[in-house]
Structure 1
Amino acid sequence: MRDHLRGGRGERGGRIGRLLEHGDLRFLVLALLAEKPRHGYDVMRELEERTGGAYRPSPGVIYPTFSLLEDEGFVVPVAAEGGRKAYEATPAGKEALEANRAAVDAIFARLDEAAEHSSGARPKLQRAMQNLGVALRLRMQRGGVTEDQVDAIAGIIDEAAARIERT
């Protein structure tokens, strides 16, 4: 345990991939909120960007972390654009962050390293594959698909697979 910011409340599992250890997300969120007030999706996007797409926390992880930090007196909600609740670090939160500056810097160094090793292609490919799956499911759910249309869709997918192999 590094200090009073550590602990098991609000965290799942011991490690998130190889980037974050138990309790690190609390430091990351607090550090981002110390930079400027942010709402949950801002924090999620920022972490995704800082890892080159290697890690994007879910709302189910971020919002409980906000609540935990608020309970500890390290963040407070502030008004934000579009009615979304944003949070900012309190003086106590900034003090706790400074008391753990070496640990926070080490976490951000791991994120920077992850970003350097990520070409950015993996998240793009995951998004593209999800788009294909959604489009296919929606088309099939709409119904009225003829055998000729099934053959055409299969042909498109087979051609894309062949082009990918040649790339």
Structure 2
Amino acid sequence: MFDHGELRLVILALIAEAPRHGYDLIKEIEERTGGAYSPSPGVIYPTLAMLEEMGHATVTESEGKKLYAATETGIAAIAEQQAAADAAFARMDSAAAETPAGPPPQLVRAMENLKLSLRLRQEGGPLSEDQIRAIAAALDTAAVAIEQA
């Protein structure tokens, strides 16, 4: 999806638009590509740390989460590389336009997150009867909420 350094530029441009948490960046990129690409936390957070080290981003704590914003130096870096940023965003728009109709990427991501958390919890060792009941109740509650949405 991105050439070398372009994801860093996209992230910087997005935090220049508005301060964001890492998870918000993942969702934003996923939505802008129509679900064609969703960066992993293992890509997003090291990139944010690098932007901070470069002096292109600042970090503040907000509700126990790190909130990233572009610095003046970061905004100047975007301006210097505006053509590359525009090309990356155009490619993202193109990917979104070419993505076949299907379930919204936000729902696919949420379903995959649920499957992964269930699998990891089960692989973590035997579950007690109380844990089994709690997990089943949470899933039943989610099912009812989805049916009523």
TM-score > 0.5 by shorter chain: yes
- Which consecutive segments of 4 or more residues in structure 1 shift more than 6 A? 131-134
Unaligned runs of 5+ in 2: 128-149
TM-score by length of 2: 0.70
Contact 1:53 1:120 in 2 (8 A): no
Tell me which of 91, 94, 111 is aligned to 2:75. 94
Alignment partners' CA distance in 1, 2:114 and 2:44: 28
Contact 1:52 1:120 in 2 (8 A): no
Alignment match, 1:26: 8
Contact 2:21 2:67 in 1 (8 A): yes
TM-score by length of 1: 0.63
Q: Give the aligned CA root-mean-square deviation in angstroms.
A: 2.7
Aligned partner of residue 121 in structure 1, secondary structure: coil
Between the two proteins, the alignment pairs up a number of residues equal to: 120
Contact 2:31 2:106 in 1 (8 A): no
Per-residue CA deviations over 1:53-84 (Å, capped at 9, x if unaligned) read 0111111100000010011000000232x211
Alignment partners' CA distance in 1, 2:52 and 2:22: 14
Unaligned runs of 5+ in 1: 1-18, 143-167
Aligned partner of residue 38 in structure 2, secondary structure: coil
Q: Tell me whether 1:36 sits opposite 2:18 in the alignment.
A: yes
Task: State the identity as a percent.
Answer: 51
Tell me which of 69, 72, 89 is aligned to 1:108. 89
